[in-house]
A and B are shown apart, each in its own frame.
Chain A
């Protein structure tokens, strides 16, 4: 899949106003969301064959082949994205609430049939359980070079991960955990375009010790510090295209982005991002 993007920087004083403008433009209320993002770095395991020796029957189609090559080539950073709620911040971990003793591995909510028992509706749980967190793997390529279309275009792929220990899983695939952060933002949808007004929040620093695995619990939201000190936001307008060889679809997507840029011209200036700023290759 291909992703076409335009970005704009939104100073914090304009944030509230822009939210209202976007709500009016898209005809929907903003969907506030928090995303936990874990960054993994690919590494080449010693002794593992570098490239697949394939014959001609192993040829795969365009994008898929490329994605596969990139994921197996071990050259890219990739990230796991998990959606969390604001109530999860600052809540004690589920294990601690259960009473100190290490609890048995919690069962999958689906196998428990949670929510099916109508007599006892499940209470909204405040505690955050890292093992219950669902993740999806997101891969983003470095944006294409030399496009004349005026939008940032890049290859992307997203896949939901099974409910297992993701760090182990990623290790097994040849990825090591690097760091993590939170993305806070509001999502809007206008026809095919997803408009995401967001900013990156960093976890509070915990001294010198280096974090080697994802946190089991989330700190209070007010302890999170924005990456951009002024607290400004990034407006990202994106359209995904299923088949990048379909020139009509690519053209339509960029036209939709340009139309949006025109509509928002008086508020923000949407423009393609610097290609090297979105570089995901491991140097």
Chain B
């Protein structure tokens, strides 16, 4: 037994064959031969045969232990060791090769082989004997198992269970030995106690650490909850908490994005895990374009910058990102429904024509890259862009509110066709407002211009009244609605058709005309519609133009009314002033023509023409032999004298200071 133990390699206690395989490359059998070393390497078949991966892994596990302990240093050390051993063997072999000739080597080989076989035989015999001995010893307690590994000879020779072991009184130990073993055992015990206490202490420390980490995590969660966020169990991951920051009434794809998992990092800080969400900070930038040049655009809010540090900021960032994404999605949907109004869409941009030279550009950009050089004098347009941006966001929230209202209503009966969700009104109200205001300003400036011309010409025209955006009742006390909150009624007020009213009082008393402008916000027909009403009692047969679509028609109607007013004024001006019979007679008031008869075949004709920029009055003294009739006599008439009064600048004044003076002079 002892000899076998000596022969076996010192490091391992596994099966003999495995020992041989394992140790041979590194530990040569130097004890077996003095001059020649032959490694007991197994014959390596270099074929295509490879072990399967699970087999290799289990092999490595058995051979080297768990992978957990393997790291780079261990592997490097192992490699160095192998290199050193392999190199030694090789160098020895090289030396031998040099010394021996072929025959000698062959002889040596045979000799050593025989020697090796002999040793192997001895080892085998001893191992068999040891096995037999142990088997026989065990056969008393486990005869079946022991029998299976007994040699046939032993089985035949000795009956099973015929040997037993027992503890006999050991010889009394020497004091020194007893002392020694006592010291060793107490040493061991001490060592083990130390070891256990260390383990326990480290476990306690780790637990304490864990408690700290958990406390930090729950404090953060509580902090989030106190800030007003909704914390819930994640519906898919049962054991994790999640924070709800999205909008429950949004389109499902964005509603589902409004939930993020609150994961715990190693140090207990909160990690907001949002799932598969495109990175970056989307931002809907609104730009105002004048003549295709950007003259103002919005800047992203601070919460959208990607440098969010605290968890609260991160949640805000996530919420704003999902809101911006949804905003642009809904804007695209609305834009597609408004293609017929000239709205064009690209992958990430929407271009909306507002007026002739103003356009609004909506783009989905990254908040980090969206900073644009501020053009000079862009203050007003930046304000306009910001106004549009705010209104879009408020309207999206309002659409969410309406969705909520729709959702909690008693459901409609289930039908085969699902009701389609209509597009939200996000930029349409702003567009309607801008278009309306632009049209109203144009009309106002036109009225201002043309009444200014009349005033400069000396007509005492009363002031006109303007009520732009008359339909908005922001400051009024809104009635408390049963279902809608005050805020919602305010929003609904903004979504009603926009109206503006212009009322111009005329020279003739009690005469006026009114222009009402109306722009639909929500439903077609889009665009601004006008309604012009005349109130001219002096001309009873005149009918109001009524509904008009185009601005130039409105301007024509206004000019017409003012011209009629001037004609009425001129024809009636002499009635009061003098008692003479001379009086201008409006023969064609609609084209501004008057006539003053002088005698039988002479008369004066006055032509008044009014435009936005000028007022011209021209008189012609016409000699018409045979009377003022038409037909042949008309052919013979001829103009004798012609005079014209035009509104001029102060540098080049007229002979008559005002048009009425001119008329008075002409009448006289």
Q: Does A249 sit at the interface, judged by CB under 8 A?
A: yes
B477 interfacial contact with A, CB 8 Å: yes
Interface membership of B172, Cβ < 8 A: no
Q: Does A11 contact B (CB under 8 A)?
A: no
- Asked if A243 meets B416 with Cβ closer than 8 Å, knowing A115-B479, A187-B410, A193-B411, the reply is yes
Q: Give chain A interface residues in 226-265, CB to chain B under 8 Å.
A: 239-243, 246, 248-249, 252-253
Query: In angstroms, how far is the closest chain B Cβ from the Cβ of A197?
Result: 14
- Cα distance, A252 to B407, chains bound together (Å): 19
Asked whether, in the complex, the Cβ of B413 is within 8 Å of the Cβ of A240, the reply is yes
Contacts of B278 in A (CB 8 A): none
Chain B hits for A191, CB < 8 A: 411
Nearest B residue to A26 via CB reads B408
Q: Which residue of B lies closest to A250 (CB)?
A: B414
Q: Quick one: CB contact mask for A84-123 with B, threshold 8 Å, 1 for yes?
A: 0000000000000000000000000000000100100110
A-facing mask of B437-481, CB < 8 A → 1, else 0?
000000000000000000000000000000000000000111110
A253 contacts which of B409, B410, B414, B477 (Cβ < 8 Å)? B414
A1 partner residues in chain B, CB cutoff 8 A:
413
Q: How far is the CA of A131 from the CA of B451 in the complex (A)?
A: 59
A66 at the interface (CB under 8 A from B): no
- Does residue B55 face the partner (Cβ distance < 8 Å to A)? no
Q: How far is the CB of B248 from chain A (nearest CB, A)?
A: 6
Q: Is B415 an interface residue (CB 8 A)?
A: yes
Is A27 positioned at the interface, with any CB of B under 8 Å from its CB?
Answer: yes
| Inter-subunit contact B407/A246 (CB<8 Å) | no
Contact B408 A28 (CB under 8 A): yes
B-side contacts of A192, CB under 8 Å: 411, 414
Write the B355-368 contact mask toward A (1 if CB under 8 angstroms, else 0). Answer: 00000000000000
Closest residue on chain A to residue B408 by CB atoms:
A28
List chain A residues, Cβ under 8 A from B404: 28
Q: In this assembly, does A215 line the interface, its C-beta being within 8 Å of a C-beta of chain B?
A: no
Interface size on A, residues (CB 8 A): 24
Cβ-closest chain A residue relative to B409: A189
**For the complex, is A31 an interface residue (Cβ under 8 Å from B)?**
yes
Please report the total number of B residues contacting A with Cβ < 8 Å: 16
Q: Name the A residues within 8 Å of B248 (CB-CB).
A: 27
- Kindly state the separation between the CA atoms of A9 and B413 in the bound complex, as whole angstroms: 25
Residues of B within 8 A of A8 (CB): none
A240 to B410, CA, bound (A): 10
Give B236 Cβ to nearest chain A Cβ, in Å: 15
List chain B residues, Cβ under 8 A from A239: 411, 414
- CB contact between B413 and one of A28, A189, A242, A252 (< 8 Å): that residue: A242
Residues 397-440 of B at the A interface (beta carbon under 8 Å): 404, 407-411, 413-416
Residue of A31, A118, A241 touching B408 (CB-CB under 8 A): A31
What A residues does B414 contact at CB under 8 A? 192, 239-242, 249, 252-253
> Could you say which residues of chain B place their CB within 8 Å of the CB of A142?
none
Residue contact A28 to B407, C-beta cutoff 8 Å:
yes
Bound CA–CA A246/B416 (angstroms):
8
A121–B478 Cα gap in the complex (Å)? 9
Distance to closest chain B CB from A264 (angstroms): 16
| A194 contacts the other chain (CB 8 A) | yes
Judging by beta carbons under 8 Å apart, are B410 and A121 in contact?
no
Q: Per a CB cutoff under 8 Å, which of B410, B415, B416, B477 touches A118?
A: B477
Cβ of A242 and Cβ of B415 under 8 Å apart?
A: yes
Complex Cα gap A253–B411 (Å): 12
Say yes or no: A189 contacts B411, CB within 8 Å. yes
Give the CA-CA distance A191 to B411 in the complex, in Å: 7
Q: A243: which B residues are within 8 A, CB to CB?
A: 415-416
B415 partner, pick from A115, A189, A249, beta carbons under 8 A: A249
Taking CB as reference atom, which chain A residue is nearest B232? Answer: A24
Closest residue of chain B to A122 (Cβ to Cβ) is B479
Chain A stretch 171-222: residues in CB contact (< 8 A) with chain B = 187, 189, 191-194
Q: Is the CB of B479 within 8 A of A121?
A: yes
With a 10 A CB-CB cut-off, give which of B248, B408, B409, B478 has the most chain A CB atoms. Answer: B408
The 4 tightest CB contacts between A and B, nearest first, are A121-B479, A240-B413, A242-B413, A242-B415
Question: B interface vs A, CB < 8 Å?
Answer: 248, 404, 407-411, 413-416, 476-480
27 CB-based A-B contacts, threshold 8 Å: A27-B248, A28-B404, A28-B407, A31-B408, A115-B479, A118-B476, A118-B478, A118-B479, A187-B410, A189-B408, A189-B410, A189-B411, A191-B411, A192-B414, A193-B411, A194-B410, A194-B411, A239-B414, A240-B411, A240-B413, A241-B414, A242-B414, A243-B415, A248-B416, A249-B414, A249-B415, A253-B414
Q: Chain A residues in contact with chain B, CB under 8 A?
A: 1, 27-28, 31, 115, 118, 121-122, 187, 189, 191-194, 239-243, 246, 248-249, 252-253
